[in-house]
């Protein structure tokens, strides 16, 4: 018989200090692409941003906000996540 103490396990380890502010992932679809944010209690975090075929994407990641633009020709769609002194909010804009 083998030594159980030396056998590998498949049990995932939990973080010793989980961050309670993370875990509320929301996805937003606009003309040109899709954006997902993790909206914590006091900040936002960009999880992913994916442009549609033929669209270009630009991301600004600042201390109190994130902006994602999708552009194609003269059309722009923007997704803003802001949390400057308030819980994170998400707004979209299209021109």
pLDDT digits (tens, 9 = 90+) for 44-92: 999 999 999 999 999 999 999 999 999 999 999 999 999 999 999 999 9
Domain boundaries, the chain: 24-94
Cα–Cα distance, 47 to 44 (Å, whole number)? 9
pLDDT of 36 strictly over 80: yes
pLDDT in tens, 20-33: 556 789 999 999 99
Cα–Cα distance, 31 to 54 (Å, whole number)? 12
Cα–Cα distance, 77 to 73 (Å, whole number)? 11
The answer for residues whose C-beta is within 8 angstroms of residue 49's C-beta and 6 or more apart is 33, 34, 35, 36, 57, 59, 68
């Amino acid at each position: 018989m083998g030594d159980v103490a030396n056998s590998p396990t498949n049990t995932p380890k939990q973080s010793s200090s989980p961050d309670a502010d993370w875990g509320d992932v929301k996805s937003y679809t606009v003309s040109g692409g899709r954006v997902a944010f993790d909206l914590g209690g006091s900040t936002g975090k960009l999880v992913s941003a994916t442009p549609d075929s033929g669209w270009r994407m630009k991301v600004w990641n600042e201390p109190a906000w994130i902006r994602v633009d999708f552009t194609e020709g003269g059309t722009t769609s923007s997704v803003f996540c802001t949390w400057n002194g308030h819980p994170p909010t998400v707004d979209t804009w299209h021109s």
